[in-house]
Amino acid sequence: MNGTGTTGGGRPVWFITGSSRGFGRALATAALEAGDLVVATARRPEVLTETLGAYGERVLPLALDVTDPRAARRAVDAAVTRFGRIDVLVNNAGYANVSPIETADDADFRAQFETNFWGVYNVTKAALPTLRHQGAGTVVQFSSIGGRVGGSPGIASYQAAKFAVDGFSRVLAAETAPFGVRVMVVEPSGFATDWAGSSMTVHDIPQAYDATVGEMNRRVRRSADGAAGDPRRAAEIIVRTVHRDEVPAHLPLGVNAATMALDHSRHQTAEAAAWERVSRSADFDEPYPVALP
């Protein structure tokens, strides 16, 4: 088995959702520049032809709405028909709209979750028989550092979905490890994509939520230079990491992501230690009651 989880000596085949812009396009380009093969999917495949057409037969552009399970199965079948296998599955498609939970439009909240979680579920499930049959493969799930630490006002549907993706991916890793399948969750902080631009709808923010949701929305857009993260660098890092024999279970990307991940882990450890005796006291055989910290 090669570093990418491939069998045999061929170049790895990537299957990437949301390839028309942002991280998806950067990752498709980075994989192709590394000499790999790419199945690039998007709702509008003609955009993929425009951006990736120079790579010729090494890229297969496909139309895919990740919220449609049958479309996911058709896309996976088309990928296998063309290239014979899928070595790296990347669930990247996703978006966030801004609204307080109290005033959120229920249909919009659900629609975001359909793409951000159920899209991951649909595409992963469609690809699993191929990965299991191969006895090899890598699944890359795009989350967010917010999917680890949470608490970003205004994007509850998005962050709830990212927490769900993380839980789903942990179970996926446990279930598929015996088949030689690896799972890596990518957790970016702010990057120079259109995640907070044309992809995001900002709904009305009531005055009562200006200090939380309003301030969060302003902070995302405050810097004239845009986000600090470079999608091209991030894509190259992911490709280099997937080519290794071992991949991390979680890969924070960006200065803020690294800092927030470490700070959150330290806080969780300290809090668990402070409440350890109380937590243990809930079992029958443990001393009870004990003093609260």
pLDDT tens track for 62-100: 999 999 999 999 999 999 999 999 999 999 999 999 999
Catalytic residue among 95, 158, 169, 189: 158
Q: In this structure, are 217 and 151 located in the same domain?
A: yes
Q: In this structure, are 221 and 287 located in the same domain?
A: no
Q: In this structure, are 290 and 184 located in the same domain?
A: no
Q: In this structure, are 292 and 171 located in the same domain?
A: no
At 252-273, the pLDDT tens digits run 999 999 999 999 999 999 999 9
Q: Residue 6 falls within a domain, yes or no?
A: no
For residue 200, the enclosing domain spans 13-253
pLDDT tier at 276 (50, 70, 90 boundaries)? very high
pLDDT of residue 192: 79
Q: Residue 7 falls within a domain, yes or no?
A: no
137-142: strand order across its sheet: 59-63, 37-42, 13-16, 88-91, 137-142, 181-188, 250-253
Q: In this structure, are 84 and 177 located in the same domain?
A: yes
* Mean pLDDT score of the chain: 92
Q: Residue 4 falls within a domain, yes or no?
A: no
125 classed as catalytic: no
Report CA Rg, the chain.
21
At 189-202, the pLDDT tens digits run 988 776 656 677 88
pLDDT of residue 225: 52
Q: In this structure, are 245 and 289 located in the same domain?
A: no
Q: In this structure, are 248 and 265 located in the same domain?
A: no
Catalytic residue among 143, 144, 157, 169: 143
Q: In this structure, are 278 and 193 located in the same domain?
A: no
In this model, does residue 184 exceed pLDDT 90? yes
At 45-58, the pLDDT tens digits run 888 888 899 999 99
Q: How many angstroms separate the CA atoms of 134 and 121, rounded?
A: 20
Q: In this structure, are 155 and 283 located in the same domain?
A: no
> What CATH number corresponds to the domain at position 102?
3.40.50.720
What mean pLDDT comes out for the span 206-227? 79
In this model, does residue 16 exceed pLDDT 60? yes
pLDDT of residue 222: 58
Tally of domains within the chain? 2
Q: How many angstroms separate the CA atoms of 21 and 2, rounded?
A: 29
Catalytic residue among 162, 169, 189, 209: 162
Q: How many angstroms separate the CA atoms of 86 and 15, rounded?
A: 7
55 classed as catalytic: no
Q: In this structure, are 211 and 292 located in the same domain?
A: no
In this model, does residue 139 exceed pLDDT 70? yes
20 classed as catalytic: no
Q: In this structure, are 32 and 172 located in the same domain?
A: yes
pLDDT of residue 132: 98
User: Under DSSP, is residue 252 helix (H, G, I), strand (E, B) or coil?
Assistant: strand
Beta bridge partners of 59: 38
